Homo-oligomer: A and B are copies of this chain.
Amino acid sequence: MALVNGCEQQTLAITDRATQYGDGCFTTILVEQQCVQLWSLHLARLELSLQRLAIAAPNWQQIYSQIAALALKYPDKGGIKILISRGSGGRGYNPLGCHDTQVVITDFEWPLHYQQWQQQGITLGVCQQRMGNSPMLAGMKHLNRLEQVLLKQEVETAGWVDAIVLDGDDRVIETTVANLFWRHGNTVYTPALQRTGVAGVMRQQVLNMLDELNYDYQVGDFGVDAVLAADEVFITNSLMALVPVNQIQTTQYCQRTMFKTLWKRLHSC
A199 CB to nearest B CB, Å:
16
Asked if A135 meets B168 with Cβ closer than 8 Å, knowing A13-B10, A19-B18, A144-B144, the reply is yes
Beta-carbon contact of B132 and A133 below 8 Å:
yes
The 4 closest A-B pairs by CB, nearest first: A132-B134, A22-B22, A144-B144, A11-B11
A152 CB to nearest B CB, Å:
4
A-B contact pairs, 7 of them (CB 8 A): A9-B14, A10-B13, A11-B11, A14-B106, A19-B143, A22-B146, A23-B149
Beta-carbon contact of A22 and B129 below 8 Å:
no
Beta-carbon contact of A156 and B96 below 8 Å:
yes
Asked if A148 meets B93 with Cβ closer than 8 Å, knowing A133-B133, A143-B21, A168-B135, the reply is yes
Beta-carbon contact of B143 and A136 below 8 Å:
no
Beta-carbon contact of A142 and B146 below 8 Å:
yes
- Enumerate chain B residues within 8 angstroms of A146, measured Cβ to Cβ: 21-23, 53, 136-137, 142-144
- Enumerate chain B residues within 8 angstroms of A256, measured Cβ to Cβ: none
Q: A69 within 8 Å of B by Cβ?
A: no
Beta-carbon contact of B16 and A19 below 8 Å:
yes
| Among candidates B17, B104, B136, B152, residue contacting A147 with C-beta atoms closer than 8 Å | B136
A219 CB to nearest B CB, Å:
20
Q: A236 within 8 Å of B by Cβ?
A: no
A164 CB to nearest B CB, Å:
15
Q: A48 within 8 Å of B by Cβ?
A: no
Beta-carbon contact of A95 and B132 below 8 Å:
no
